[in-house]
Structure 1
Amino acid sequence: MARAAVLHAVGDKELDLRDDVSTVDPGPGQVKVKIRATGVCHSDLSTMSGVLPSVPPTVVGHEGAGVVVEAGAHVTDVQVGDHVVINWTPDCGTCAECRRGEPYLCMTFIAQAFGDPAFRMADGTPVFGMAGVGTWAEEIVVPHQGVIKIDEDVPFEYAALLGCGIPTGVGAVFNTAKLRPGAKVAVVGAGGVGLSVIQGAKIAGASTILAIDPNEAKHPIAKQFGATHTATLDDLDETKGLLTGGQGFDTVFEVVGRSAAITTAWNATRRGGEVIVVGAGAADDDWSQSAFGLLFDGKTLKASLYGGCDLKRDVPMFVDLWRSGKLDIDGLISRRIRFEELNGALRALEAGEVIRQVVLFD
């Protein structure tokens, strides 16, 4: 039996922090991972509120790292004792998306996870895992494609962020936008993923990086990670005028997950520029644009799911960027907490008091 944070019903404000949850036995193509560190991300809140789909009861959490403790008979790419990052969108390698080189769109294992519970309580009640993983548990079972081996000198709390926040943010810059040096960039939302976008833009050589957030307390933090300027919604038009002569930015990243934020990003983008949607919004939160404006403004709207990453390729790159001092992972971690502090961590996240909190399992 192990500890796990269970959501019993969508809309619950607190999780049931239990110590009687066990995993299913790993199959021949699966691995069991002992989670050593797991991040607290806005997507976890979105699962609890119902913005992101789940099948309660479910173990929440999707951003994690740990050690392989069991490997199925058909697993050859990792072995017991390996340190790994959890990939919550494992690629099957055979679906149409994978064959097109878009592993981040693979739904094979995620779809299976909605029908196959990965945990059970002591009384036998089946429990599912968020996004097919459920990293707010001491042990998880995932397909072998759902783990990426890393070097043992990478701290687990850093490795955990390589499973979601950093790939989603930095990947949106490198893979989706393919940002060019000298670009003028704006980022709507300066939370954990937004700060990763800002870091990516700085690494890519953007000449101007504007962080847009109504919470002015986040502005100095955004500058710490590479923003050259900051603005609230109230002074955005004035700032756009000063920085771009009123034309707008080459690329604007929306990292909030709301249609209103997409509109903000669209209006801040120059004619012919790009809007990159990074935030995960609700299914009923529609966004619209006039057909005339869509054509004659020449702007492009792109989705960036999981930063367009292939984690097998990109995690080693992120580690190299960290080793070279270009990617600040430690600065993203506001608090290192215990499992018992998870519900308080959720309240702090919802209040906007933190960037990333990381649960460290003993």
Structure 2
Amino acid sequence: MEITDITVAPPKRGEVLVRMRASGVCGSDRHVLDGEWSVPHPTVMGHEGAGVIEQVGDGVEGVQVGDHVVLVWNQECRRCVNCLSGKPWACTELRSNECVMPDGTTRLAIDGDAAYPYIAVGSMSEVAVVPASAAIVVPPELPFDVAALLGCSVHTGLGAVVNSARVTAGESAVVVGCGGVGLSIVMGLRLAGASPIIAIDRNPEKLELALAAGATHAVLADDSTPQRVEDLTGGGADVAFEAIGNPHTIAALPSQVRPGGRIVFVGMPPEDTPIPFDVLDLCYRGITAIACNYGNGVPARDFPRYAQLYLAGRLPVDTLISRHITLDQVNEAFAAMRAGSDARNVILF
């Protein structure tokens, strides 16, 4: 990544300009930088952000200048059958994956040529222009670094527990991968009353974070991991989550659950990566496989709830933050991510 100047057009009808205050450094950004996901270039990276509304376009309702907001990268149309049925994460008219606004254009330019905000947010920038519906108001007392993480890792992780897997009190759970999303899953499991909550990772420091976030057991990943899980759960967990997007750990997920259990795919693998499963085994054992996209949730409903849980001391989002950095340290943050040494780095503007 390089730091450069961009031209930002004012918000059009139904849009807002946000002065960014914090942006998380997420694994989805790394997929792009490492060539595993395709996006238009040049790209203003970042999609996990929070800031203050500085300008509003015509026709904007529900938000105003000065509001503290968390940005949404899954910018649903609110018109298609999935949006109207409460499934905005499955919007059929979604344009944000193309890194453009709902009208198919961008408000950013470099030297007169179009530049593209990653997943229609581009939070690793001093300002961002998004649809007003993609700027969710949160209490001003919520710290910006915490608010930024609500926009992706927290929403994805908690949603995987509550919306996708629908975990109930007393169920046993396994979480494979203890980065920002994995730790958010752990926090969600604790809120749901799951027990035991078994965190698995290759990094002992991340396992310590998982215990602080609410895991009851921490297991260092090696060849003995399936046996350890079986021993701790008495035959396999009720539900297992994969939060890395690694083809090998995804394929191994069924080995973590009991017959009749559930496996949840939360981490996103590289594009065009087939994952081999023994389908006959899944059928014999009655395993339910669940795919989770953005927590299968509703940001306008969920972000304020998560903010209140944090302010009430019930959601320790601070546990996710390994370091606060400046924009010029972003490449170092991605290097740390590739090495598996940090949970979440957060850029502060």
TM-score (norm 1): 0.91
Give structure 1 regions of 4+ aligned residues with deviation exceeding 4 angstroms: none
Deviations 1:216-260 (A, max 9, x none): 332222111111112213221221232123x21100001011221
Contact 1:92 1:145 (C-alpha < 8 Å) held by counterparts? no
SS of the equivalent of 1:239 reads helix
Q: 2:145 aligns with which of 157, 166, 175?
A: 157
Structure 2 residue 86 is the aligned partner of structure 1 residue 109: no
Structure 1 position 357, deviation (Å): 1.0
Gap runs ≥5 in structure 1? 1-14
Distance 1:290 1:266 in 2: 9
Structure 2 residue aligned with 1:243: 232
Choose 347-356 or 72-81, whichever is displaced more.
Answer: 347-356
Report the Cα distance in structure 1 between the residues aligned to 2:30 and 2:133, rounded to whole angstroms.
Answer: 26
**Secondary structure in 2 aligned to 1:45?**
helix
Render the CA deviation track for 1:295-342: whole Å, top value 9, x for unaligned.
211101111111111011111111121122110111211111111211
Partner of 2:267: 279
CA contact (8 A) 1:258 1:285 kept: no
Q: 1:12-27 maps to which residues of 2 (within 5 A)?
A: 15-18=1-4, 20-27=5-12
Judged with a 3 Å threshold, the aligned counterparts in structure 2 of structure 1 residues 144 and 125 are, in CA distance, closer, same or farther, namely same
Q: How far off its partner does 1:149 sit?
A: 0.6
Partner residue in 1 for 2:199: 211
Work out whether residues 194 and 255 of structure 1, in 8 Å CA contact, stay in contact via their aligned partners in 2: yes
Unaligned runs of 5+ in 2: none
The counterpart of 2:65, out of the listed 80, 85, 103, is 80
Q: Distance in 1 between matches of 2:282 and 2:227?
A: 24
Indicate if the aligned counterparts of 2:77 and 2:94 stay in contact, CA closer than 8 A.
yes
Matched residue SS, 1:354: coil
Structure 2 CA distance for aligned equivalents of residues 113 and 184 of structure 1: 39
Within 2, Cα distance between the matches of 1:69 and 1:126? 22
Residues 22 and 139 of structure 1 are in contact (CA less than 8 Å); yes or no, is this contact kept in structure 2?
A: no
Question: What SS does the aligned partner of 1:233 have?
Answer: coil
Matching residue of 2:223? 234
| Equivalent residue, structure 2, for 1:10 | none
Deviates most, 167-176 or 209-218: 209-218
- 1:37 — aligned with what? 22
Cα gap change, 1:27 to 1:134, in 2 (>3 Å): same
1:112 deviates by: 6.0
Candidates 301, 308, 312, aligned match of 1:320: 308
Question: How large is the RMSD of aligned CA atoms in angstroms?
Answer: 1.4
1:159 Cα shift?
A: 0.6
Letter in 2 for 1:297: R
The one of 255, 276, 298 equivalent to 1:267 is 255
